Amino acid sequence: MSEALDALVIGGGPHGLTAAAYLAKAGMRVALLEAAAEIGGTCANALALGDLTVPAGAQTLYALDPRVVSELKLVRFGLKFAARDLMQIGLRTDGKPLLLGRDARAAARSISAYSQRDAAHLVDFRRELFAFARAQRALWWEDGPPAALPDELRRQGATGAAAMLDAAFESEAMRAVFAFDAMAGGMSPAAAGTALLFAWRAAQEMCGLQGAVAVPRGGMAALAACLSAAAQGAGVEIRTGAPVARLLLSGDAVSGVVLASGEEVAARIVLSSLSRRETLLNLAPSGAAGFAAAKRLTHGAEVGEAKFVMTLKAVPGFAALQPAARFLIVERLENCIAAHAEARAGRLPAELALEAVVPTAFDTALAPPGTDILSVLVRPLPVVPAEGWSKLAPRLSEAVMAILERHAPGLRANITGLICVTPKPLRDPLEISQLRASWRARIATPIAGLYLCGEAGEPVPALSCRAARIAAAIAAAHLKGAAR
Amino acid sequence: MRYDACIIGAGADGLAAAATLAARGLKVAVVERDSHPGGRCATREFHPGFRASPYTDELPPIPAEIFWSLDLARRGVVLAPASASLALWPGRQSLLPAPAGRAEAFRQAILARVLADSAAPANRGWFTPRAPYAPWPGEELSTRTLSEALEELTADPAERANLMATFLTGRVCNPALAGSALQLLGGARGGMAAGGLGRLGEALRVAAQEAGAEITCGLEATDIRRKAGRVTGVGLADGSDIAARAVISTLDLKRTFLSLFSWSELPRALVDRAGAFRPAPGTARLLLALDALPEPPVGTEACALRGPIHLAPSAAALDEATHAWRRGALPARPPAMLRLVSAVDPSLAPSGAATLTVTLGAIPHTPFDGAWTHEKRDRLSATALAIIEALWPGLAKRVIGSELLLPPDMEQMLGVSGGDLAGGELAADQMLGLRPFADPDCRGGRTPVQGLYLAGPSSALGPLATCASGVEAARAVAADLVARRL
Amino acid sequence: MNALRATPFHARAAEANKLNAWETRGGFTLAAGDPGEAVAARFGAVVADISWHWRASISGARAGEFVSRLVTRDPARLQPGEAMRTLWLNDAGGVRGLGTLARMGRESFLLISTVDDLGWLADGAALYGVQVRDVTQEVGVLELIGPSGGKILAAAGLEVELQPFALRKLFWRGLDVTLSRFGDGIELWCAPDDALIVWDRIAAAGRPFALCPAGQRALDILDLESGIVQPGRDFTPVRDGFSPKPAPQSLGLGSLVEADHIFNGKRGAAGPDKALVGLLFDSETPAPQTYVMRSGAVVGRTLGSLLSPALRRAIALAAMEPGAAAPGTVLTAAGAPCRTCALPFLPPR
């Protein structure tokens, strides 16, 4: 590091790479520090599964900011999508699956087996939800001044997802298919304000389609590679194998970081893509975050999700319905509320909600022919179970296998490899009030010059890179203001 | 004869509304299904010589201005001051003074705001601009959890559980859910009435009648008559009609809109909202007649027995009970609150004897395996007595008579949907500005139906204060009559 | 749960409390006394029981770092045995406490205030691995206020030269005591068991100097006359972690905030600086916590206000805009006319 740096970015995941790229494009001298040997964070293919390597993080992209894609010219760096609009399919044991694609009429056909009223109502539900979501983009996409809350936003901010789904749909099947998304961020579907989670999801845009869920060609690692190339192309200096031990403060403001090796790196601003808890409690000096804020941060998220990735000899049966789909396997919405309470108490819930994706069904390059990958997210689970993960993980695997076997008989016999990623213990808990707060409130920290550009800055923790883009803008403005 | 207002239900809110309107010189008729007025304000002799208020020992406080304007003190209402509550755990106990603080400040601010809202006439003009939204006092509670809100008061988990039980007073909720902090608003207690709540009901009846209101008992209101979208009167069970320019319903939301109207004549959104208004977890009441004052548990002073006694409250038990209620299961260990009512008011029991009321939370209206049978009732009574005996040995053998009131009984006796005395769950989307309607025009007791006003437990002030929602609706009626909006 | 506590001097306070007027502060039962006792402090001296003040002991390897972050003035300049008056704020800059911070040893501090805030200190101390303990009941403290204070102590055998805001441990005829000057008078600290002996010794030594016991009401009046602001009585400290009100400047306490010191809540909203002035009313009716007006415009707010028997007028401490703070300005508070005065109201003793 020969010249003095303007900005340092901690964390080489997609959020950190995006923030670094934007800062470099704004003319700053930026360095990015990644603790692992490989760039990419949770998107990197870090887990070994037989001969393959798979990522530990999200399995689909539904919130990537389209402006990041266009402004960083990711397409030029090789970003392609293997699937642009995954269909939402609800698998049920008590009847035929619900096929909820973008075409409402086709969706209505599969719903009418359960309820005619719901089939008719889905069109209105979607239309109202999407319209409301678009209206909230001023709050969720831009860092403008916080607008006066319209009545509907306030009302939804007080409504629980369970109440909203109960009012919208009468059939158990329809309520259950949305139950998985209602538990995003470790929230219970009955908690006030979780109705906004649907609106937030609907406010996103992938590949030009509102509320779409996409998968990059080559998996999430390809996204990380594109972002890395974009960042390097913009002039970011990327250092891997450089874990940060703590922040350096001069007075009240950040002045750099100290690596675990003891090396000091000076910079005028620091953007951290780690969680708020990690940044303010572990990296910042004691008390720098404020006593009340630190006390609030000591409680990490109590409920999280686990990820299972398995290699199979053959595609599971349900993938024949529609290869490019996300399969939601939930029995009843009410059971999810009870399951959340059980997870909060540290136990394995009796009922689980699953989201399964078969990426090899639409992206054949991910695995050699004859091998298929099944990626499953499981909610809600205790982050720190009472008995410990070493005891709980096998029971969880068994429960997940049993659920999958019900919908894909013979699956167990086809499994050639299985890996389980347990919930990360240092995640920030989701506070629904964050969904109504401004970007600056989430991104700025009590320490001058320190900004959060990762999931901590997002209203809902998701791979969106919007916080990174906005944090970079705020940081650049700060530097320019300081220069004057 | 055409009345200015007809009030459905002669409970505390209905009678307060009647007294307020009649005092302004308006012609008021009150229709009550039961043979005597009072509603929740009743005293019941459940065993020869033993009396208790059957539904609840204490109602939410009556605002001071209403207490004085209705002259309740001279009419025989004496309310005991709020007392400290005792929590009994196996082997220890803890005494907690009556809680106050920010929740009380919010309550007062909400009361003031709604009463002011009601005094302004309905905003139905073309040219009146919509007032900008003013955040409600206490709105910050709707994103916080009850455990977190109580964490500010005390860090000790046992004391927090005790505080939680004190605020919930026999109700249950899931204390870890965002929005559960709103239970703090419903936790204020107005004190036990000397002679039982029946004295309060009697005083309110006298206040209403002396002001000039006509109270008809024994007749049920079955319909609300409308003409050209405006309310014209109330249809009664015997076929007769009461013509009125305005109708105040003190029934809960579901009963008002789903049983007094035919669904087809109401806007779809209104029917949906009434149907989707979630009930609060129900409570059951066990009234016990004891032949002698029981020995207090070891280490308790006699004065501690004057207040509510919570049996081993814990946040985990509350959580579990709420989930059991949701599934319709009979709780194995329902949260229980005891009150030795005769220790405060000796007239409720013969001398030397004692009356004990037990409030059990999270009791389903209809258990998942069928309606309440005698066997299930006995089992619940036995469970409750066993829990009490475990923490207060020697009490069970003093019981000489008892009565169990379950949600279906309360539904039948009071006419509350689902036996839910709270009139709807105190959740974030059903409180403050959203109770019961989100429409800003529906302030101060008004409803989307022109000429119909809602008071009672399902209105914004229902869980916060007694008689206040009635007075609020009455003021709204008076303001709208004057402004010729009716 | 909160049984009323008695201070170590309770027995003597009960004898001295001729009016049988009691009050509660901080959970302790204290003699309220007669306001007229405040005048006695201008003649000889008065002795009052301030054992009820909340005291917290902070100790640990990083205690200095923690305390530095906690309070609004830099404690590094304090030597063991020195103290300073300081504020501590919540995360948004609202005043959580106002008190005296004394350094007892290299990494050992004592924080004294009239309103307790142990929870906040414990939360902060947890981040530094420092121990915080409530030591209120481990000590009995008497305050001697008045021109004869020093002479009485000398007569009792405590001959010591103390600087303001200093404390000294002494061995006094078999008892371990500490003397300090944190306020207007001299504080004498002792172990609770020795309290009555200490009281008797002081009372005996003070007889020729017209020493009277004083209750809490007199202490309040003496504080006001000297311009000492106390939390709880003169303003309500914030108990939230994130509310920015009251800001130190809005209470006229901006002088207790050092601009170049780093403390919790520094980045909060500060607000325009107000001056802390005294108000002398024309009548005997006090006007606490009201707005102060000058020709119809609000120019400040009163904090605490009481009737001063020495001046025979009501006095108040107020936080005023600098323009209206010149001594002699005529103002109105709660409808009553008043005049600004420089603090302290009465010449120092």
Residue C289 lies in a domain: yes
Residues C187 and C299 placed together within one structural domain of the fold? no
Tokens of C6: 């008695």
The answer to whether A155 faces chain B, any CB pair under 8 Å, is yes
When pLDDT is averaged across residues B443-459 and rounded to a whole number, the result is 91
Question: What does the radius of gyration of chain B's CA atoms come to, in whole angstroms?
Answer: 22
Give the pLDDT band (50/70/90) at residue C1: very low
Residues C64 and C128 placed together within one structural domain of the fold? yes
> What range defines the domain where residue A243 resides?
5-45+63-80+220-298+429-483
Q: Residues A58-78: pLDDT tens digits?
A: 889 999 999 999 999 999 999
Number of domains forming the structure of chain C: 3
The answer to whether A252 faces chain C, any CB pair under 8 Å, is yes
The answer to whether A446 faces chain C, any CB pair under 8 Å, is yes
Q: Residues B16-30: pLDDT tens digits?
A: 999 999 999 999 999
Interface contact A291-C62, CB threshold 8 A? no
Output helix, strand, coil percentages for chain A, rounded to the nearest 5: 40, 20, 35
When pLDDT is averaged across residues C148-167 and rounded to a whole number, the result is 90
CB B336 within 8 A of CB B358: yes
Q: What is the pLDDT of residue B250?
A: 95
Q: Which of C83, C103, C136 is the last residue of a domain?
A: C136
CB B283 within 8 A of CB B405: no
Q: Residues C21-78: pLDDT tens digits?
A: 899 888 899 999 888 889 888 888 999 999 999 999 999 999 999 999 999 999 999 9
Residues C47 and C79 placed together within one structural domain of the fold? no
**Among the listed ranges B57-61, B291-295, B361-365, which one has the minimum average pLDDT value?**
B291-295
Say whether pLDDT at A393 is over 90.
Answer: yes
Q: Which of A155, A174, A207 is the last residue of a domain?
A: A207
When pLDDT is averaged across residues C162-189 and rounded to a whole number, the result is 93
Give the pLDDT band (50/70/90) at residue B472: very high
Residues C129 and C180 placed together within one structural domain of the fold? no
Give the pLDDT band (50/70/90) at residue A398: very high
Residue A193 lies in a domain: yes
Say whether pLDDT at C13 is over 50.
Answer: yes
Distance of CA B422 to the CA centre of its chain: 5
Most confident of A420-434, B163-177, B472-486, C202-216: C202-216
Residue A15 lies in a domain: yes
**Among the listed ranges B88-102, C8-22, C289-303, C320-334, which one has the minimum average pLDDT value?**
B88-102
Q: Residues A219-228: pLDDT tens digits?
A: 999 999 999 9
* Chain A nearest CA to B172, separation (Å): 15
Interface contact C267-A286, CB threshold 8 A? no
Residues of C in contact with B96 (CB under 8 A): 1
* Chain C nearest CA to B326, separation (Å): 35
CB A332 within 8 A of CB A71: no
Percent of chain B with pLDDT over 70: 97
CB B149 within 8 A of CB B141: yes
Q: Residues B199-211: pLDDT tens digits?
A: 999 999 999 999 9
When pLDDT is averaged across residues B29-58 and rounded to a whole number, the result is 94
When pLDDT is averaged across residues A37-59 and rounded to a whole number, the result is 89
Cα nearest neighbour of A287 on chain C:
C127
Residues A121 and A270 placed together within one structural domain of the fold? no
Residue A451 lies in a domain: yes
Q: What is the pLDDT of residue C349?
A: 58
Q: Residues A93-117: pLDDT tens digits?
A: 988 999 999 988 889 999 999 999 9
Residues of C in contact with A293 (CB under 8 A): 91, 241
Q: Which of A207, A242, A268 is the last residue of a domain?
A: A207
Residues A110 and A203 placed together within one structural domain of the fold? yes
Residue C208 lies in a domain: yes
Question: Residue type for B50, please?
Answer: F
Q: Residues A176-212: pLDDT tens digits?
A: 999 999 999 899 999 999 999 999 999 999 999 999 9
Say whether pLDDT at A2 is over 60.
Answer: no
Q: What is the pLDDT of residue A146?
A: 62
Among A251, A291, A446, select the one facing C124 at the smallest CB separation. A291
Most confident of A329-338, B322-331, C329-338: A329-338
User: What predicted TM-score, i.e. pTM, was given to this entire model?
Assistant: 0.87
Question: Which has the closest alpha carbon to B294: B335, B349, B336?
Answer: B349
* CA end-to-end span of chain C: 43
Q: How far is CA B163 from CA A228, B89, B152, B160, B309, in A?
A: 53, 14, 12, 5, 12
Residue A29 lies in a domain: yes
Q: Residues C101-154: pLDDT tens digits?
A: 999 999 999 999 999 899 899 999 999 999 999 999 999 999 999 988 889 999
Cα nearest neighbour of C119 on chain B:
B155
Say whether pLDDT at A147 is over 80.
Answer: no
When pLDDT is averaged across residues C85-112 and rounded to a whole number, the result is 95
Residue C116 lies in a domain: yes
Residue A365 lies in a domain: no
Say whether pLDDT at B129 is over 80.
Answer: no
pLDDT mean across residues, chain C: 91
Residues C45 and C145 placed together within one structural domain of the fold? yes
* Chain B nearest CA to A178, separation (Å): 18
CATH number at residue C99: 3.30.70.1400
Percent of chain C with pLDDT over 90: 67
Residues A71 and A105 placed together within one structural domain of the fold? no
Residues A75 and A110 placed together within one structural domain of the fold? no
Q: What is the pLDDT of residue B123?
A: 58
Q: Which of A207, A234, A269 is the last residue of a domain?
A: A207
Residues C205 and C93 placed together within one structural domain of the fold? no
Cα–Cα distance, B463 to B189 (Å, whole number): 10
When pLDDT is averaged across residues C306-328 and rounded to a whole number, the result is 89
> What range defines the domain where residue C304 resides?
274-341
Interface contact B428-A192, CB threshold 8 A? yes
Residues C47 and C112 placed together within one structural domain of the fold? no
Residue C238 lies in a domain: no
When pLDDT is averaged across residues B254-270 and rounded to a whole number, the result is 90
Say whether pLDDT at B124 is over 60.
Answer: no
Residue C279 lies in a domain: yes
Residues A172 and A262 placed together within one structural domain of the fold? no
When pLDDT is averaged across residues B318-332 and rounded to a whole number, the result is 87
Residue C111 lies in a domain: yes
* Chain B nearest CA to A155, separation (Å): 7
The answer to whether B116 faces chain A, any CB pair under 8 Å, is no
Say whether pLDDT at C271 is over 80.
Answer: no
Number of domains forming the structure of chain A: 2
Q: Which of C92, C110, C136 is the last residue of a domain?
A: C136
Q: What is the DSSP letter of B130?
A: P
The answer to whether B131 faces chain A, any CB pair under 8 Å, is no
Residues C201 and C156 placed together within one structural domain of the fold? yes
Residues A190 and A236 placed together within one structural domain of the fold? no
Computed from CA positions of residues B253, B258, B262, B264, in that sequence, does the dihedral angle turn out positive or negative?
Answer: positive
The answer to whether A478 faces chain C, any CB pair under 8 Å, is no
**Among the listed ranges B9-18, B235-244, C266-275, C332-341, which one has the minimum average pLDDT value?**
C266-275
Residue C71 lies in a domain: yes
Residues A67 and A116 placed together within one structural domain of the fold? no
When pLDDT is averaged across residues C188-201 and rounded to a whole number, the result is 95
Residues C34 and C60 placed together within one structural domain of the fold? no
Q: Strands A205-206, C330-333: parallel, antiparallel or unpaired by DSSP?
A: unpaired
pLDDT mean across residues, chain A: 91
Computed from CA positions of residues B316, B322, B323, B327, in that sequence, does the dihedral angle turn out positive or negative?
Answer: positive
Residues of B in contact with A159 (CB under 8 A): 428-429
Residue A278 lies in a domain: yes
Among C1, C239, C240, select the one facing B94 at the smallest CB separation. C1
Among B97, B152, B155, select the one facing C1 at the smallest CB separation. B97
Residues A168 and A246 placed together within one structural domain of the fold? no
Tokens of B130: 């919509």
The answer to whether A190 faces chain B, any CB pair under 8 Å, is yes
The answer to whether B95 faces chain C, any CB pair under 8 Å, is yes
Percent of chain A with pLDDT over 70: 98
When pLDDT is averaged across residues A399-421 and rounded to a whole number, the result is 93
Q: Which of C119, C136, C153 is the last residue of a domain?
A: C136
Whether a cis peptide bond, with omega within 30° of 0, leads into A382 is no
Residues C144 and C214 placed together within one structural domain of the fold? yes
CATH number at residue C200: 3.30.1360.120
Among C91, C127, C267, select the one facing A286 at the smallest CB separation. C127
Residues C298 and C168 placed together within one structural domain of the fold? no
Subunits close to C (at least 3 CB pairs below 8 A): A, B
Among A148, A155, A431, select the one facing B429 at the smallest CB separation. A155
Say whether pLDDT at B5 is over 70.
Answer: yes
CATH number at residue A251: 3.50.50.60
Would you tell me which residues 446-485 of chain B have a C-beta closer than 8 angstroms to some C-beta of chain C?
A: none
Residues of C in contact with B94 (CB under 8 A): 1
